[in-house]
């Protein structure tokens, strides 16, 4: 099978009835960029910039960040890279930086992490903004903010980047050809105000790992809960469908970048409910592309639509049966 996936590397991820699905990879280290050539993926849909912080014994200074971002962009060439600003805190604690202001956190995943840290530690965010903007000189910079809960958080983060862009411009530094700003939808509350935010977004990215844990109030790292809440559940799928429909109506491209999109049946279901862009772990590119290329989208759309209106108890079973039946 691995040989079959490798042979498919140059083939486009297009369904049998002609719908193109953008297939990208998640990455976090310099060497991960090699996955682009290995898999034939279209680009990096999620570059987790906190990896550099996590593997470092000391806080990576701006120059070191900038070097990494430039290396990644150089290696990616014409293929787009979407950088996510640091998502530290929570399950990604840094030994050299106390992120919790009040001592030990009881619920770090819901605590002082990601954009919440970055908006308060402005020095950290400014350094990263400058590193990204300078690294992307002459190219398009795609940047997104993790764990946005309310629209103002996105606005503040974007304003901080724009201030750095002006600062660099005033000093005649070479700037990116364009900066595109996106928000990650990982906190269910954001879906309730998404209509207000969409007009200001260049793109949206759905992080299903955090989103699922918050939708179900179930710790994503808890072994006893891992099997209990299925990604193929009516709650998640209905939620995602509303978000995807809303973003499409607003003309905002939406990518699903959580692990859910890297599982073949889940990816199939996401495509069935209207997702057109997936960013997955590199080993999943082959299997997901094979699935897409064997897919007849129109009947899948109809099936998923019906299953979401009146979901059967065994939704996963029904989708599996359909896939087997169709030879997907
Ligand atoms: C997610 O939450 O789905 C996501 C892509 O981000 P991370 O897994 O890094 O939290
Ligand atoms: Mg996340």
Q: 141 - beta bridge partners?
A: 179
Does this model's pTM top 0.90? yes
Q: 181 - beta bridge partners?
A: 143
8 A C-beta contact, residue 254 and residue 204: yes
207 lines ligand 1 (CB under 6 A): yes
289 to 7, 191, 240, 292, 296: CA distances (angstroms): 12, 29, 21, 5, 13
Q: What is the ipTM of this complex?
A: 0.99
| Among 108, 184, 187, 205, residue to substitute to test ligand 1 (most atoms within 8 Å of Cβ) | 184
CA 36 to ligand 1 center in whole angstroms: 20
pLDDT of residue 5: 83
- The ligand 1 atom at the shortest distance from the C-alpha of residue 206 is 3
Say whether pLDDT at 281 is over 90: yes
Burial 178-199 (b: 16+ CB within 10 A, else e): ebbbbbbbbbbebbeebeebbe
Alpha carbon distance 20, 200 (integer Å): 26
- The ligand 1 atom at the shortest distance from the C-alpha of residue 186 is 2
Which residue's CA is minimally distant from atom 8 of ligand 1?
209
- Confidence bin at 73 (pLDDT 50/70/90): very high
Instruction: For residue 181, give both structure tokens.
Output: 């700003």
| Structure confidence by residue, pLDDT tens digits, 77-131 | 999 999 999 999 877 878 788 755 556 788 888 988 999 999 999 999 999 999 9
Instruction: For residue 193, give both structure tokens.
Output: 């105000």
Nearest ligand, CA 207: 1
Per the document, the length of the chain is 328
- The ligand 1 atom at the shortest distance from the C-alpha of residue 259 is 3
Ion ligand 2 residue ranges (Cβ < 5 Å): 186, 207, 210
| Structure confidence by residue, pLDDT tens digits, 17-35 | 999 999 999 999 999 999 9
Task: Dump the DSSP string for 7-43.
Answer: HTTTS--B-TTS-B-EEEEEE-SGGGGHHHHHH--S-
For 175, other C-beta atoms within 10 Å of its C-beta total 17
Instruction: For residue 174, give both structure tokens.
Output: 């070479």
The Cβ-side half-sphere exposure at 242, using a 13 Å CA radius, reads 14
Residue with token string 């996590």: 54
pLDDT of residue 323: 98
209 lines ligand 1 (CB under 6 A): yes
Pick the closest to residue 11 from 234, 200, 294 (CA basis): 294
8 A C-beta contact, residue 174 and residue 136: no
């Amino acid at each position: 099978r691995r040989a079959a996936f490798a042979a498919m590397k140059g083939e486009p991820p297009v369904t049998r009835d002609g719908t193109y699905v953008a297939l990208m990879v998640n990455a976090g280290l310099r060497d991960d960029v090699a996955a682009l050539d290995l898999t034939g993926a279209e680009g990096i849909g999620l570059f987790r910039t906190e990896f550099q912080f996590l593997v470092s014994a000391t806080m990576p200074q701006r120059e070191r960040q900038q070097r990494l971002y430039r290396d990644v962009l150089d290696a990616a060439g014409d293929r787009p890279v979407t950088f996510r600003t640091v998502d530290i805190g929570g399950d990604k604690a840094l030994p050299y930086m106390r992120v919790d202001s009040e001592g030990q956190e009881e619920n770090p995943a819901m605590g002082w992490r990601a954009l919440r840290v970055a908006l308060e530690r402005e020095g950290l965010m400014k350094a990263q903004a400058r590193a990204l903007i300078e690294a992307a000189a002459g190219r398009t910079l795609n940047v997104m903010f993790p764990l946005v809960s309310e629209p103002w958080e996105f606005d503040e983060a974007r304003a901080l980047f724009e201030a750095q862009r002006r600062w660099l411009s005033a000093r005649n530094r070479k700037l990116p050809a364009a900066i595109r700003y996106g928000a990650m939808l990982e906190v269910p509350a954001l879906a309730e105000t998404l209509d207000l935010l969409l007009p200001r977004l260049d793109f949206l990215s759905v992080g299903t790992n955090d989103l699922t844990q918050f939708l179900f109030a179930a710790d994503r790292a808890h072994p006893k809960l891992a099997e209990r809440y299925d990604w193929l559940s009516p709650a998640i799928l209905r939620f995602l469908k509303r978000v995807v429909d809303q973003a499409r109506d607003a003309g905002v491209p939406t990518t699903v970048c959580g692990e859910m999109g890297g599982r073949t049946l889940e990816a199939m279901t996401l495509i069935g409910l209207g997702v057109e862009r997936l960013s997955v772990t590199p080993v999943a590119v082959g299997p997901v592309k094979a699935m897409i290329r064997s897919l007849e989208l129109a009947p899948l759309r109809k099936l998923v639509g019906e299953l979401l209106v009146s979901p059967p108890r065994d939704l996963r079973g029904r989708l599996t049966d359909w896939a087997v039946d169709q030879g997907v």
